[in-house]
Amino acid sequence: MTIKLNINQIMQYLPHRYPFLLIDAVDEIIPGQTIKARKNVTINEGMFNGHYPENPVVPGVIQIEAMGQAGALLAIFSGATLDEDKSIYVALINDCKFRKPIIPGHVMVLTSKIVRARLGMWRLACECHVDGELASEALITATTGPKIKTCLLYTSDAAD
């Protein structure tokens, strides 16, 4: 079974929102195996205000995050159990390499394949291609766990 997702469907599964939702479309998910997703890079993105104005390049951490989001979608469609109290988090990043700069106008083609899934841990071999060439890659381990609840550390009542 092959699954495709548009942006509205992606937002049903990932908690990320603008400006940090980094998947625009999913072209293929084969549950338990692989995912192929896309991120369209445009000059209008806020990251280019400071990275770098005269030479806009997608930061490596954004590339890793995009690969991680694709991997999270694959894990979800492969049986990761998430609900209102449980989410998926990056636990480890290994063998990360950046091979080619990604600039506005590029389409990041994100792939991830499951290397190992066991006890709520997902080891994912992730790659990012542009123009048919490998731009970056990483072995990302993700885990499911409780959502972090925000707490208010200071209120005006505390001073009373």
Catalytic (active-site) positions: 51
Determine the Cα angle at 45 with ends 128 and 137, to 5°: 15
Contacts of 53-59 with C-beta under 8 Å, sequence gap 24+, read 56/103, 56/104, 57/101, 57/102, 57/103, 58/101, 58/102, 58/103, 58/106, 58/108
Q: In Å, what is the CA distance from 6 to each residue of 9, 10, 25, 43?
A: 5, 6, 5, 22
